[in-house]
Structure 1
């Protein structure tokens, strides 16, 4: 009897399994998993915009010091400050590349998902994504020169090692791509609800698109002035940003670590907060030209090492007191120790509480060191200054150079 029961049980298992094979695909498929058929592409757009805008160390370690906007005596800032590779320099060098292509991948996914579901319904998601792609490709090629472009973000099509395109070919293609993307913006389709810049406002995106066209075109003035003029004049005639209310930015959100302003978080790192300053090159220029923005962007910390490290203690932003840190120095005691630089003002504080860099200007806390601070992608001021240059070349951009310049600095 016992054997009969065992045989019966085995028979049930074996034949039961055999009979249900036709349903295995259904059983092993997660009905709630995201797919191109059910994922809202707006989510991908949001992720791409945030990842691109929140650059953090990607813009600090090399670009900001290499152009002598910032200066630092600290080790890993030497990559851009002194052109000496230090720390995890290969990773630092690739930050803009990696972050850029991650964002581009998200945007391409948004486009693919939108097309899979309804190109008409998601027309503005596709248009906004394509405008963002131009902005991101420009940043990457401006940083690295020749980059993957024509075959980029096509892994789903089997292209996992895309060819590198020459920058001279990329720039004209960006203008063509941007022109088409702006034209595809729709006033009748639903707005791109995942848009962090303008909440999907199509009119605002057209202004941003044409302002971006000016930026891209004006990069070409020395290599292809004819094409640069054509697209700059086209953008000016179509309508670029008209005021500061048109600025393209994404505001940080202190609620979550990855939505906080990444540049602020980097500068609040103990070593960074102590040793990252405005450069002598920048501060000297602002002083020389009596630039009214000096007191808005810079401050001298309160005296002493303890006060210098206090991230809640504001400094003195009196313009006449501001002093920039010269690039190329360190605090290692050698020939390039900051204490040996010409004009070194000396430390602040008393014995036992000295701040070697205490007399140098840092980014003003109230403006730059806020976790909910905005990340600006393109502004009215930049656009107007570019149009001022275009007007000075005799191009037709709506107003003369003086007017555009005044708009840019007022």
Structure 2
């Protein structure tokens, strides 16, 4: 076990090297004494993208998709076991990547590379959004100011962090395309600046919608939607922010060489996801899950979910022969020997479908006046089916690409057709958005916390609750105690799993 001194050094390093912002949370500190030693930003970029994308997917599979009730795991869903060591890893791993982005942004500023700086700001905003959504108040404005003797940075309110990252994303949109350097090391968009601008503006809409229970998003949303030339957005799943994996070792999907036991014994489709998909006659059931072992290879494959929060999943519905593991696109290669890594699932940072559902909700609630809510809604659904059909290899027998595309009657059924009251329509948007966020980092969990859709009921082993935030790392209580205590004042409640974050007014 690491001793206290080692912990102190690690904690200080992580906090001291995080990106610094000015009082308006935009300008980056530059170490002018070390500019000659700054690295080529193109050398830092690929590892930042790869590492953050890997961790986003793994965190989703291990925790976030479980608490969002998309998949089930008897260990992760025993929420009393969500220890501070778990949150330590999430907290510090993310700040570790902020440190790398700090280096990249400083190098870009020194060289006058606005494109690299813009990319760095987009990634930093995406990472900070994940941290604050999971904890609430976090170190932000002082997080990188160790150079001016701030070794233990204060915590900023989530409202202030959101304001800061929105400003950073606006700056990124302005910077991208303003210089002519060729981007190397861009394994997300292959140097396509327009893709990064679309990602930046999509993130802005995500954050504006998430805080809409606290701050009216209308002015900013209308500015973005009203000027697509200045503020471009995703136009299909082809330009969404999704990392394409390769066949080379260490460039494969994180699950491709993953732990077989996760699929064989502990992780399943959730009963909530099973019911939602079956009620909709939704072909994504065969994408998100494998047939039960008892029915695999038969003419009538069956799919069975497992509830979260039960002590022994082997006691549910006759045991594992009647349970569905997570679908082949995410499975280790032993389960899908005919699936090459480059055909497997991507790590999605933000999807075209998520954007369309944001726009559908914004139009339905009057935040924007451009476009048609039903059109946005249907675009989101169709984009999902088209995306997954595009990921299915030709040698797959179940599902085939054709089987993933539903008949037109899918859109006219009562639970999908865009009809009913405002509440009915919003509920349909929310259900489809939750489905679209399958294994997409912490987004399904945040979506559920904001909307309450779908209904998630705590299992008998959940101590009567479903978590709505992470707890802070143990080191913060010991080494940054004063600021930690001030963070709890900003949080407005105790540091536990049931104190809501600022935007969660559901």
The answer to whether structure 1 residue 207 and structure 2 residue 208 are counterparts is no
Give the match for residue 240 of structure 1. 233
After TM superposition, the structure 1 = structure 2 runs for residues 91-130 of structure 1, keeping only pairs within 5 Å, are 91-116=85-110, 118-119=111-112, 122-130=113-121
Distance 1:317 1:251 in 2: 33
Distance 2:350 2:224 in 1: 15
Shift of 1:362: 1.4
Greater length-normalized contact order (CA 8 Å, ≥ 6 residues apart): 2
Q: Contact 2:38 / 2:106 at 8 angstroms: preserved in 1?
A: no
Shift of 1:280: 0.6
RMSD, matched Cα:
2.5
Structure 2: unaligned runs, 5 residues or longer: 1-33, 334-340, 383-506
Give the match for residue 45 of structure 1. 45
Q: Contact 2:357 / 2:377 at 8 angstroms: preserved in 1?
A: yes
Shift of 1:263: 4.1
After TM superposition, the structure 1 = structure 2 runs for residues 151-166 of structure 1, keeping only pairs within 5 Å, are 151-166=142-157
After TM superposition, the structure 1 = structure 2 runs for residues 164-203 of structure 1, keeping only pairs within 5 Å, are 164-203=155-194
After TM superposition, the structure 1 = structure 2 runs for residues 9-408 of structure 1, keeping only pairs within 5 Å, are 36-37=36-37, 39-55=39-55, 56-73=57-74, 77-78=75-76, 81-85=77-81, 89-116=83-110, 118-119=111-112, 122-225=113-216, 228-237=217-226, 238-257=231-250, 259-266=251-258, 268-303=259-294, 315=296, 321-331=302-312, 338-339=314-315, 344-346=316-318, 356-366=319-329, 368-369=331-332, 371-372=341-342, 373=344, 374-396=346-368, 398-408=370-380
**Secondary structure in 2 aligned to 1:377?**
strand
**TM-score, length basis structure 1:** 0.75
**Secondary structure in 2 aligned to 1:54?**
helix
Distance 2:38 2:137 in 1: 37
Count of paired positions: 335
Shift of 1:170: 1.1
Structure 1: unaligned runs, 5 residues or longer: 1-33, 305-314, 332-336, 347-355
Q: Contact 1:44 / 1:110 at 8 angstroms: preserved in 2?
A: yes
Point out the structure with max Rg over C-alpha: 1
112 and 105 in structure 1: CA distance in 2 versus 1, 3 angstrom threshold: same
Distance 2:131 2:367 in 1: 28
Distance 1:157 1:317 in 2: 67
**Secondary structure in 2 aligned to 1:249?**
strand
Shift of 1:159: 3.5
Distance 1:211 1:283 in 2: 29
**Secondary structure in 1 aligned to 2:80?**
coil
**TM-score, length basis structure 2:** 0.62
